Amino acid sequence: MAKISKKASARVKPRKKHPRRSKNSWMVTGFDLSMSSIAGAAYAYDATLDKFLGPKFTMKSWGPNTHYFERIKDCSRAEDFIHDLMGQMKLVVGLNETYIATEEPFPTGMVKRLESKALKQQAEISGAFLAGLLRYGFQNIYQISWYQWAQIIAADLGVTIHYSKWNYKENPFELAPSGKGSGKWRPKEWALKNGVPDWPDLITREKTGKIPRPEGSRARAVQPDDRYDALAVCEWMREEYLAGLA
């Protein structure tokens, strides 16, 4: 676990302690950032009503013709996504009681295998979002690796993150088998078992980019809705926060 702070360097040391839980209202959030969307999920606790809330979701998608700087601008207004989640819960949470987790832009080993414009832009998307949070005043920000949330999902599903167990042989949600399995469908499998809505999978079209598959369409899905990944990141943040009770 790496927490972003004023003294953060390119690689920060893991924290040894869990975040300390407060008696006030609090909110934990998780975000999935990509070149096509910002997806967020959140849980919260209302201290006045003594009630747990969530999950709630927020989403911003971009079409293939959206200028790259427009995407960066949206990311720099990261506080808008936090406020949207608070608004859905009808709850105001202080900066110090808001905990935010994002997944690192890409595994560090990927740079050794492939250096491309896409990796550069993905890193800039992530950096703009983090900068927006810090500029607004949020400090409890964590950047995690995919395996940190994946281990939670795998344990709940009774599998491991080893590729032989994590990856599907086929996409279980696809209308027609593709013959290419992937572990990217695990967060959706886990979320559906926990009562989250079954959102349409995403398909790719040249003019519109990634869009939810229209009802009745048999177009092959390329990935599940990004909100499932955001919820998985949020679940890591929630477990990390609640572990502070111990």
How is the chain split into domains, by residue range? 22-147+227-245, 159-225
Query: From CA 150, how far away is CA 190, in angstroms rounded?
Result: 10
Does 20 score more than 60 pLDDT?
no
Of residues 72 and 175, which shows the higher confidence score?
Answer: 72
**Which of the pair, 163 or 193, is modelled with greater confidence?**
193
Percent of the chain with pLDDT over 70: 80
* Mean pLDDT, the chain, whole residue set: 85
Q: Which residues contact 72 (CB under 8 A, 6 or more apart)?
A: 124, 125, 128
Nearest to 33 by CA among 63, 64, 78: 78
Instruction: State the pLDDT at residue 168.
Output: 78
Provide φ and ψ at 52, rounded to 5°.
Answer: -90, 140
Residue 3 in this model has a pLDDT that exceeds 70 = no
- Kindly state the average pLDDT of the residues 8-27: 58
Calculate mean pLDDT across residues 55-61.
97
CB 30 within 8 A of CB 234: yes
Q: pLDDT class for 14, splitting at 50, 70, 90?
A: very low
Residue, of 206 and 246, whose pLDDT is higher: 206
CATH number for 22-147+227-245: choose from 2.40.160, 3.40.210, 3.30.160, 3.30.420: 3.30.420
- Residue whose C-alpha is closest to residue 103's, from 70, 125, 134: 125
Q: What's the mean pLDDT in 63-78?
A: 94
Return the minimum-mean-pLDDT range out of 10-24, 77-91, 92-106, 218-232: 10-24
107 versus 33: the higher-pLDDT residue is: 33
Label residue 28 exposed, middle or buried (CB < 10 Å: 0-12, 13-18, 19+).
buried
The band of 194, judged by pLDDT with boundaries at 50, 70 and 90, is very high
